[in-house]
Chain A
Amino acid sequence: MTVTTTSNRLKTLLSFRRGRFGQKITPYLFLTPFLAGFLVFMVYPLIYALNLSLYRKKLVGGTSFVGLDNYLKAFQDVNFWGGVRNVLVFGAMQIPVMLGFALLFALLLDGKLIRRQTIFRLGYFLPFAVPSVVAALIWGYFYGQSFGPIAQIATALHLKPPLFLTPTGIIPSIANIATWQYTGYNMLILFAALKGIPEELYEAARVDGASDLQIALKIRIPIIMPAIALTAIFSVIGTLQLFNEPNVMRTVAPTVLDSHFTPNIYVYNLAFANRQFDYSAAIAFTLALVTAVLSSLVLLAVYRREQS
Chain B
Amino acid sequence: MTTQTRSHVRPNGSRSYSTTGKFSTYVFLFVCLGYFILPLFWLLISSTKTNAGLFNSFGFWFAKDFGLAQNLKDLFTYQDAAFIGWMKNTAIYAISAAVGSSLISALAGYAFSQYRFAGRSLLFGIVLASVFVPGTVFAIPLYLLISKTGLSGSLLAVILPSLISPFGVYLMRIYSEQAIPEELLDAARIDGAGEFRIFATIAFRLLLPGYVTVLLFAFVGAWNNYFLPLLVLGKSEVYPVTVGLAYWNSLAGQLSTHQILYPLIITGSVVGTLPVMILFLFLQRFWQNGLALGSIKG
> What residues of chain A have their CB less than 8 Å away from a CB belonging to chain B?
11-12, 15-16, 18-19, 22-24, 26-28, 30-31, 33-35, 37-38, 41-42, 44-46, 48-49, 52, 101, 104-105, 108, 112-114, 119-120, 122-134, 137-142, 146-149, 152, 180, 183-185, 188-193, 195-196, 203, 206-207, 209, 211-213, 224, 226-227, 230, 233, 237, 240-241, 243-244, 247-248, 250-252, 254, 263-264, 267-268, 271-272, 277, 280-281, 284-285, 287-288, 291-292, 295
Contact = CB atoms under 8 A, between A and B. Distances in A.
B143 interface: yes
Interface string B1-30: 101110101000111010001100110010
A192 B13 contact: no
Contact of A244 (B3, B163, B220, B226): B226
Contact of B36 (A24, A184, A211, A224): A184
B192 A123 contact: no
Given A133-B243, A237-B134, 15 more contacts: A26-B111, A38-B130, A45-B141, A52-B141, A125-B280, A137-B269, A147-B262, A149-B58, A149-B59, A196-B292, A209-B9, A227-B296, A230-B294, A241-B135, A251-B250
In this complex, the member of A38, A191, A195, A288 whose beta carbon has the largest number of chain B beta carbons within 10 angstroms is: A38
B272 A131 contact: yes
B82 interface: no
A196 B291 CA distance: 12
Nearest to B6: A211
B79 interface: no
A288 B139 CA distance: 13
In this complex, the member of A35, A105, A133, A277 whose beta carbon has the largest number of chain B beta carbons within 10 angstroms is: A133
Contacts of A213: 1, 4
A241 B287 contact: no
B108 A30 contact: yes
18 contacts: A24-B117, A38-B127, A38-B164, A41-B161, A42-B166, A46-B137, A48-B144, A101-B32, A112-B14, A120-B29, A120-B33, A122-B284, A124-B32, A127-B40, A128-B280, A130-B40, A134-B43, A230-B298
A141 to B, nearest CB: 8
Contacts of B114: 27
B218 interface: no
A245 B246 CA distance: 10
Given A16-B189, A131-B224, A133-B242, A108 B25 contact: yes
Contacts of B132: 233, 237, 291-292, 295
B137 A49 contact: yes
Nearest to A123: B33
Given A142-B42, A184-B36, A129 B277 contact: yes
A49 B133 CA distance: 13
B291 A271 contact: no
Interface string B110-134: 1110110100100100010010111
Contacts of A271: 140, 143
A38 to B, nearest CB: 6
Interface of B: 1, 3-5, 7, 9, 13-15, 17, 21-22, 25-26, 29, 32-33, 35-37, 39-40, 42-43, 46, 54-55, 58-60, 104-105, 107-108, 110-112, 114-115, 117, 120, 123, 127, 130, 132-145, 160-161, 163-164, 166, 169, 189-190, 192, 194-196, 199, 220, 223-224, 226-227, 231, 241-243, 245-246, 249-250, 252-254, 262, 265-266, 269, 272-273, 276-277, 280-281, 284, 287-288, 291-292, 294-296, 298
Contacts, number: 292
B136 A284 contact: yes
Contacts of B262: 147
A33 B107 contact: yes
B141 A230 contact: no
A308 B142 CA distance: 45
Given A30-B199, A34-B104, A34-B105, A138 B269 contact: yes
A31 B54 contact: no
B10 to A, nearest CB: 10
Given A122-B284, A248-B249, A271-B143, A42 B138 contact: yes
Contact of A108 (B29, B37, B120, B276): B29
A37 B295 contact: no
Given A126-B37, A180-B36, A133 B226 contact: yes
Contacts of A127: 36, 39-40
A99 to B, nearest CB: 13
Contacts of B58: 149, 152
Given A42-B138, A124-B33, A291-B134, A112 B226 contact: no
Contacts of A134: 43, 242, 245, 269, 272-273
A288 B140 CA distance: 13
A254 B4 CA distance: 44
Contact of A146 (B55, B163, B245): B55
